Amino acid sequence: MRKKLHIKKGDRVFVISGEDKGVQGKVLEVIPEKNRAIVEGVNMVSKHTKPNADTPQGGIVKKEAAIHISNLLLVDPSTGQATRIGRRMSEKTNKLVRYAKKSGEEIK
């Protein structure tokens, strides 16, 4: 069974705790098995790499590491503020949709 998470790939999120608290970024990948997400520009780590086709010189590469989704809040597209997410049945399509709890608007 697939887990339902409050964030999806491509969402704009706000980090609410940890070293990168207060930073906004775009979700690049969601890892539902571990309840984690990789967010653009957040939780940067230094990875030591051997020389290969991508990096012929090798060396130290900065890249994003996964962050727990409990530390992320979705940014409401209409207001630009961080908001909690709820789910409800859409009147038009009779499907479960996400909505912003602050503004009450549906999220794509």
Tell the burial category of 64 from Cβ atoms under 10 Å away from its Cβ (0-12, 13-18, 19+). middle
pLDDT of residue 1: 67
Q: Which of 69, 72, 79 is CA-nearest to residue 22?
A: 72
Tens digits of per-residue pLDDT, 44-91?
A: 999 999 999 988 999 999 999 999 999 999 999 889 999 999 999 998
pLDDT higher than 70, residue 14: yes
Q: What is the pTM of this model?
A: 0.84
Residues 6+ apart with CB under 8 A from 63: 44, 45, 47
pLDDT of residue 89: 94
Q: Residue 25: which pLDDT band, with cuts at 50, 70 and 90? A: very high
| Cβ pair 27, 9 in contact under 8 A | yes
Average pLDDT in the chain = 93
| Domain 12-51+59-107 in CATH 2.30.30.30 | yes
User: Where in the chain are the domains?
Assistant: 12-51+59-107
Name the pairing type of β-strands 24-31 and 36-39. antiparallel
pLDDT of residue 36: 96
